[in-house]
Structure 1
Amino acid sequence: MLEVVLQVLSISAITTTIALFFCGIPICMQIRRQGAVGDISGVPFLMGFLGGSFWLRYGFLKMDYTMIIVNVVGVSFMASYCIFFLYYSLPKKTFSLQLTLVVSTVTGMVVWIALKPNIDYLGVICMTFNIMNFGAPLAGLGVVLKNREVSTLPLPMCVANFLVSSQWCLYGNLVADIYIIIPNGIGMFLAIVQLSLFIVLPIRENEKSPLEKLANWFTGRDQKEKDLEAASEPSSPQKVPNEEISSERFEKLMAETTESRRESIDFLGRPPSYKSRSSSVPDVSSVQSV
């Protein structure tokens, strides 16, 4: 049963971790649209390449195929991102020196392990790199706590970090590897802290946090605020529905049309009562005789 759980967890950890590697694609698309790296930092790509290379060598020492598969894909992605970043870097000197330093460090590690394979030393170094990667988002927490809103925190990335770190922490417990448990346990804790901020703080300024909305819903405060807003609004005159207005106008128009038609028929059938000169007879009764 434990082997089945371990296999399922291995497949799940591989899937979620590889999916996390795709997060660099939107950054590369943004760099390509603007034609240069601009203010975007290439340090996450360098650290991903460096840490992935160390974990890959650690996986080969342990012959842990789950770690080997994940880190082969991860190193390939990070190397591609680094080359892409170098292509769009202006000037290229700074990032070239950083990339050269990282490649030299990886090469030195490979030579060192080949001459003196020590899994404990390598595990400590890998654990340190992982803790540094998980601790990088802490720099953005200062801005979040200062502004009292979480618009600067990427929610999908926080959720992905929580899923990946929690799965690898559980995987480390199943394979009894302290070098996997410690960094991913710290990463899981930091991810929980970040996710809790989305509950306590509002997404944008001048908005209510989900926790405050839930508290208002339980206490009925939202309904009271709505009633107060409705009472404070000025009363507007009652408007007659459009259907009643249209039917009223239609009846009035029909009545006017019928009356005008009736008058025209009356005029055509009976001429108005006035005496024509050609047909009138002089009235001699009032004439006195001479």
Structure 2
Amino acid sequence: MEEVWTRALRRRSEERGTSSGSASEGGWGFGAVSGGTAPARGGGAECAGRGSSAAGRGCSRSRQPQACGGRWARDPTVVVMEAGDFLDSLIYGACVIFTLGMFSAGLSDLRHMRMTRSVDNVQFLPFLTTEVNNLGWLSYGALKGDGILIVVNTVGAALQTLYILAYLHYCPRKRVVLLQTATLLGVLLLGYGYFWLLVPNPEVRLQQLGLFCSVFTISMYLSPLADLAKVIQTKSTQCLSYPLTIATLLTSASWCLYGFRLRDPYIMVSNFPGIVTSFIRFWLFWKYPQEQDRNYWLLQT
């Protein structure tokens, strides 16, 4: 009799061990659902969906926010990365849109040359210097593998080439214009020969090319300082363009942010003078408003 009783107890304990092992082998626990008993995965996917309590073995209180929280339990690192990607997309889009907007400003000069069949009140040197600047940054972007720089400066170089050809077509003094163009193109070819033939190290070449582009861009931003001095002398902002000032500020600020995000000092530092000169122009527009300009020119006449 004792032997039968011992066998029964042993069989019952084995059954309990088997059931508990099969329940915990795949991470299964027991959760109360609608007053009954139902299996629930250890990750707790059924906990929040069916309104079960946190008493299930697979969904402990310490892991409940991650396993059963749903949307509100997202990883903060993922959220920060997504916000950073969205900010980068905004900066990239701003660089492309604002820069192409500035380059397309020459379309009004092109339309003026076609309608009047002359180059009156159209300056040639900005087209040429912008062409050299675009080709320099295009080379820098190609060497660095920067798609934004490549796209923007390719379009800019194409537009400046169109403006230069139109100016050459309608200009009566073609010899002077051709001499200026040949001089700058010669300097550009010498620069390409130096960077690509005499500087074999790609890293050193990238640094020197970035330094050249930065210095050239800074000189372009600082070149209108003579016009600003003329505004102060004449107390008139008639020679300044308010829309162009806004476009310069937006373009310079977007490229500064772009360089900051990439940790590229050549892009960031070279566009900072554009922000400074834009604020100086805004101050001149505020100090010498249009009404004061009109009164000044009436007195002069």
Give the TM-score taking structure 1 as reference length. 0.68
CA displacement 1:198-242 (0-9 Å, x = unmatched): 22222133779xxxxxxxxxxxxxxxxxxxxxxxxxxxxxxxxxx
In the alignment, what sits opposite 2:174? 92
Q: How many residues align?
A: 208
Superposed CA offset, 1:155-183 (max 9, x none): 00000000000110111111111111112
- SS of the residue 2:137 aligns to: helix
Alignment correspondent of 2:237: 150
Unaligned runs of 5+ in 1: 209-290
Query: Is it true that 1:105 corresponds to 2:199 in the alignment?
Result: no
Deviates more, 1:102-111 or 1:179-188: 102-111
State the shift of 1:139 in Å: 1.9
2:114 aligned partner, one-letter code: R
Q: Bigger radius of gyration, 1 or 2? A: 1
**Match for residue 27 of structure 1?**
109
Which residue is equivalent to 1:47?
129
Any stretches of 5+ residues in structure 2 without a counterpart?
Answer: 1-82, 296-301
Paired-residue identity, %: 27
What residue is the counterpart of 1:4 in the other structure? Answer: 86
Contact 2:168/2:177 (8 A) holds in 1: yes
Structure 2: distance between partners of 1:140 and 1:29: 25
Give runs of aligned pairs for residues 139-288 of structure 1, distance below 5 A. Answer: 139-205=226-292
Runs of 4+ in structure 1 deviating by more than 3 angstroms, as ranges, are none
Q: For residue 152 of structure 2, what is the aligned residue in structure 1? A: 70
Which amino acid is the alignment partner of residue 65 of structure 1?
Answer: G
Cα deviation for residue 7 of structure 1 reads 2.1
Cα distance change, pair 32–3 in 1 and its aligned pair in 2 (3 A) = same
| Secondary structure at 1:204 match in 2 | helix
- Which region of structure 1 is more displaced relative to structure 2, 34-43 or 54-63? 34-43
Shift of 1:36: 2.2
Alignment match, 1:122: 209
Could you tell me the TM-score, scaled by structure 2's length?
A: 0.65
Deviation per CA, 1:228-285, whole angstroms, max 9, x where unpaired? xxxxxxxxxxxxxxxxxxxxxxxxxxxxxxxxxxxxxxxxxxxxxxxxxxxxxxxxxx
In the alignment, residue 134 of structure 1 is paired with which amino acid? Y
CA-based RMSD: 1.8
- Give deviations 1:10-68, integer Å, cap 9, x for gaps: 11110110011111111122223332224532100000100100000001111111111
Aligned with 1:122: secondary structure? Answer: helix
